[in-house]
Amino acid sequence: MLLGELPGEVSERFKETVLKTVDGKLSVGSNPTLSAKMSKEAMSEVLGIDLGGTAIKAGRFSVSPNQAQATPQEYVTVPTPSPATPEAVLEALIITAEKLDPGGNLPVGIGVPGVVDPTARIARTAINLSNWHEVPLAESMEKRTERTVVLGNDANCAGLGEAWLGAGRGFQDLLVLTLGTGVGGTIILNGRLFVGHRGAGAELGHICINEEGPPCNCGSRGCLEQYISATAIHRRTGVDPKVLGEKADGGDPEALAWWERIGSDLGVGLTSLLYTLTPEAVVVGGGVAASSAHFFPKALEEVEKRVLFPCREGFQLLSAQLGNEAGTVGAARLVLDLT
């Protein structure tokens, strides 16, 4: 139920990564001098919670005064109640926050698996949770605790986490694509999360790359996620992306050709995104990104072929770094941005 330690190799890297801001520019790496100067009193703390269908993952973070540096202090994971009704989940969230901050009033950001209203107060829908419709989660939790609560879409939180402490740190205009069951998207503009007019923006997985392509759950056809999500890769190749990656690692020509195809499809999607937003970088996360070496080169080749130079000048395609912690980190960042 409880685990103080972060799992996995990515987390180890994350724990060692301390962010610094020097003259307004972010850089990465340990900097003992700067860290020593930063007294514990000067650090504020926030909680980030990633509410998932099976687990509630949460962390407490110390944040530097300029908010550019943050250090995870403790992580906990509790099972999501079943059935995950709003009432049961609210109780679990209150208990989770209490575990990380006993008797305290640290503010909390919560990533919800669905659409959140633009004021970050109401969970309008939630996938894999029971009977979630226009749930005033922030208000309900604030009434029961001394905490300020803000909500965000979980995919947006994961992207925000990567933007803050992961592969996207230091970029002002950044997109994150998370390749999983679907393709999650995050847009960071001028260093801020962009959620659109009604809070449901950044559905980057549903940009169309083939008008006659496979039907998508959204109602359209040929969406990017029908080509490069983990589900789509499995459907197209007959094997799990992890297996496809292992085959490619071993030099299997068919697997390598598939990854090139996937890279090319990603490149076509990136073309639309670059022409629309000209981000400095796109970060690709999710399990599929483990094979980035096999499909990034083709994606970049496609971008070079299709995108006018001024729209791709200096563009970087990067693999995500925070793994499963990204959502928790981003939920914590949400508190700083919205309170």
Task: Catalog residues that contact Zn ion under the rule CB under 5 A.
Answer: 206, 216, 218, 220, 223
Q: What are 217's two structure tokens? A: 């759950």
Closer of 72 and 113 to Zn ion (Cβ)? 113
Closer of 223 and 255 to Zn ion (Cβ)? 223
Closer of 45 and 225 to Zn ion (Cβ)? 225
Q: What are 317's two structure tokens? A: 């395609």
Smallest separation (angstroms) from Zn ion to the CB of 208: 8
Smallest separation (angstroms) from Zn ion to the CB of 217: 6
Smallest separation (angstroms) from Zn ion to the CB of 251: 34
C-alpha atoms less than 13 angstroms from C-alpha of 50 in its C-beta half-sphere: 26
Closer of 78 and 200 to Zn ion (Cβ)? 200
Contact 180, 323 (CB under 8 A): no
Rg (CA), the chain: 20
Smallest separation (angstroms) from Zn ion to the CB of 220: 5
> Mutual orientation of helices 154-165 and 326-338 as an angle, nearest 10°?
90
296, 284, 294: which is closest to 322 by C-alpha?
284
Closer of 172 and 217 to Zn ion (Cβ)? 217
> Position 334: which residue type?
L
Closer of 18 and 216 to Zn ion (Cβ)? 216
Smallest separation (angstroms) from Zn ion to the CB of 153: 16
Strands (E), 128-257: 133-135, 149-153, 174-179, 183-189, 192-193
Contact 209, 269 (CB under 8 A): yes
Smallest separation (angstroms) from Zn ion to the CB of 205: 7
Smallest separation (angstroms) from Zn ion to the CB of 206: 4
Residue 21 backbone dihedrals phi, psi, to 5 degrees? -120, 120
Closer of 208 and 336 to Zn ion (Cβ)? 208
Compute the residue count for the chain.
339
Residue 296 backbone dihedrals phi, psi, to 5 degrees? -60, -45
Q: What are 273's two structure tokens? A: 């995104």
